[in-house]
A and B are shown apart, each in its own frame.
Chain A
Amino acid sequence: MENVISPTKQSEPHSEMTPRLHTVQSLTHETRDTFTIELTPTDGGKPNRFAPGQFNMLYAFGVGEVPISISGDPDKPDRLIHTIREVGTVTKALAHLRVGSTIGVRGPYGTPWPIDKAKGNDLVIIAGGIGLAPLRPVLYSILSDRRKYGQVVLLYGTRSPSELLFRKELQKWRARFDLEVKITVDRAVDPWQGNVGVVTTLIPRVSFDPDQTTAMLCGPEVMMRFSIMELRKSGIPEENLFVSMERNMKCGCGLCGHCQCGPLFVCQDGPVFPYPQVKKLMNIREM
């Protein structure tokens, strides 16, 4: 058939809105409602390369398509990895995939975290809930090039202990001497012995050189707003703060209008923004 999109024809002009089919290689449950899938292109080729912070549009057969950040290691390009929280129609359909199932993938789209720019600096990474998924590739990249960075701090908050993602990795990371990991939960449940409270309460308890620190934040907008207030108090300049924004997205590539926040297309100008670029917008209601 003449219009069948073959993998080698990805550059065809009308393929921007056409997904590349991928096969599910594994599906692992992280928590009650969150899972990680590993995908390989059905055409036998390699997944498209990505930079930490970028996202793909994932399509479930006949159900719909949603933006999901890439949560894997950019230096392991054989498998495409996504971590997804089941919240509604499409994410539920994705949760019901089995090994061998096929889904559509478009991307990667969007701006990456400023990993290179942060070299030589201390790094504070703040994640709330599923927000750790888009930041995991940052940790992978930094740990593979650890000497290039100063202090590296990960602050991670979830609602309850059972909602912590990537438990095994968190444990490994906590055991490292070159990484400071602090975790907090909103509500403790036995046998939780750790911190209780919102993630902002962790900020005054870690040390970094404010003038030489880059901070990367991903989570609910309120959490990012309050964390930024706290980070500013400790003296980090605004231009060293980076946030990942979320909006409804239909195309992911600047064509459908949905993701707009003021004059920005979050899909293309973001999702990762230098804070000064979105500061005003984040403070206007219903923007």
Chain B
Amino acid sequence: MNQEKPDTNNIFVIKKDSLAGLFENITKAGYEMIGPKLKDGTICLDKITSLDDLPVGITDNQEPAQYRTKQSKSDTSLFSYVVGPHSPKRYVFPPRHQLWQINRVNGDQQIIAQPLPKTKLAFIGIRPCDLAALKITDRVFKGGKYTDAHYTEGRANNFILAVNCVKPGGTCFCTSVGTGPKAKGDFDLCLTEVYSEAEHFFILETGTKLGSKMISGVTTKPASKAKLKQADKLLKAAEKNMGRQLETDNLQQLIYDGANRVNWEEVGLKCLSCTNCTMVCPTCFCTSLEDTTDLRGTTAVRTRVWDSCFNEDYSYMHGGNVRSSSRARYRHWISHKLAGWVDQFGTLGCVGCGRCITWCPVGIDITEEVVSLKKRIATKKAEATAKER
């Protein structure tokens, strides 16, 4: 996808039914569409082929350790929920991915590398936080000295139809980290859904030439000022409706201060090291490698699999684990997200999607942990000054 500046003259209005034409164009252009789909009561990202695959009239309720979707018969809106456990990460950076295999032939060994992905993926209904997350994983996998060829190739062939969030969830805090609720570029097309009992339409913004090409024959109707205003009003309101807030002032310093100065016992006792937070996080990128052989020992396969810093053997070195306690693992995780990432990649590792809060089985809340850390450091400092006196 090209990263051109959105052209404000290219804002259209489109009816729900016309989206079908857009989907057709995307498919005709050779893309496989990945979009939101209701599965087991959860909004997942899955292969979709038409408008009919999208969930209709679904709202979600997200709180720490809680996720529920609700279906309303009278509601015909398409995007009244926010993100589920899946993010585009799983498609550009799959949970399991074969890297290569070695064949033993007459005593010789031959390495056969996995071909680069050929499928062109179109992400449908991607939220601003996940767009930001893709930008971050781009830095991780394409921005350094060594690059991930599979990721790079996959990303080069993406088409993105984003959706702005007018109904933020209970664990969302994208405004705190500046990633939403309105996408600021990095999309080919972007929709804002305006839905009420009286009317239902979408504002459609094009972000790239490819995006403009994709809407040919679908809409040419510029959005009227009144309609634009309606959408803007919803987005403004959304900014005020975030379920959570993250205090970002001096955050990096706070985290580094906290690493050795204060106690992490409380969160360590709660955390189960279940890895859920890292699996649903759209930017967590840790992997491990699996080696397998066939029964005759003539073929060995190497597979890259998602890993988590909460796993027992993640930091294993002969003789023991560097971080054997959950306390140390949680500290490592939050420190990486909110501080280490800034040093490594020049950006926070958190996009405010709230997934780690929703899907943590014990409801550990990253935003609350920051508040608690601040308090612990303040107490520690107060104690130190008291002692000096």
Which chain A residues have a beta carbon within 8 Å of chain B's beta carbons?
A: 1, 3-5, 12-19, 21, 42, 61-65, 87-88, 102, 104, 246-248, 250-251, 253-258, 260-263, 265, 268, 280, 283-287
Contacts and interface: CB of A to CB of B under 8 A. Distances in A.
A287 B148 CA distance: 27
Nearest to A17: B99
A96 to B, nearest CB: 14
A246 B111 contact: no
B144 interface: yes
A286 B322 contact: yes
A99 B260 CA distance: 49
B259 A262 contact: yes
B195 interface: no
Given A13-B147, A247-B315, A262-B340, A257 B113 contact: no
Please report whether the interface of chain A is mostly helix, strand, loop or mixed according to DSSP. loop
B278 to A, nearest CB: 10
B112 to A, nearest CB: 5
Nearest to A259: B315
Nearest to A252: B146
Interface in B299-345: 300, 302, 304, 307, 309, 313-318, 322-325, 327-328, 331-332, 335-336, 339-340, 343-344
A258 B149 contact: no
B114 A257 contact: no
Given A1-B110, A17-B100, 13 more contacts: A15-B113, A18-B100, A18-B113, A21-B109, A248-B313, A248-B315, A251-B289, A254-B145, A256-B286, A258-B288, A263-B340, A268-B146, A286-B331
A274 to B, nearest CB: 16
B329 to A, nearest CB: 8
Contact of B286 (A104, A247, A257): A257
A257 B285 contact: yes
20 contacts: A4-B111, A13-B116, A13-B152, A17-B148, A61-B104, A64-B291, A104-B102, A247-B322, A248-B316, A250-B289, A250-B307, A251-B287, A251-B289, A253-B146, A260-B336, A263-B340, A263-B344, A286-B328, A286-B331, A287-B328
Contacts of A257: 285-287, 307, 309
B248 interface: no
A3 B115 contact: yes
Contacts of B327: 286
A189 B48 CA distance: 72
B116 A250 contact: no
B91 interface: no
Interface in B262-283: none
A209 B228 CA distance: 74
A47 B340 CA distance: 35
B148 A255 contact: yes
Contacts of A253: 145-146
Given A13-B152, A248-B322, A254-B146, A64 B113 contact: no
Q: Closest 7 CB pairs between A and B?
A: A257-B286, A286-B328, A62-B293, A14-B149, A62-B300, A263-B340, A253-B146
Contacts of A265: 344
Contact of B150 (A14, A63, A88, A254): A14
Contacts of B109: 21, 42, 61, 102
A263 B339 contact: yes
B293 A65 contact: no
Contacts of A285: 328
Contacts of B304: 17
B102 A61 contact: yes
Which residue among B292, B309, B318, B324 has the maximum number of chain A CB atoms within 10 Å of its CB?
B318
B217 interface: no
Contacts of A246: 317
Contacts of B152: 13
Nearest to B260: A284
Contact of A248 (B116, B314, B343): B314
A3 B307 contact: no
B67 interface: no
Contacts of A13: 116, 147, 149, 152-153
Nearest to A66: B318
Contacts of A284: 259-260
A286 B324 CA distance: 7
Nearest to B110: A4
A103 B271 CA distance: 41
A256 B288 contact: yes
Contacts of A286: 322-325, 327-328, 331
B141 A65 contact: no
A42 to B, nearest CB: 7
Contacts of A251: 287, 289
A250 B288 CA distance: 6
Given A14-B116, A246-B317, A247-B317, A21 B149 contact: no
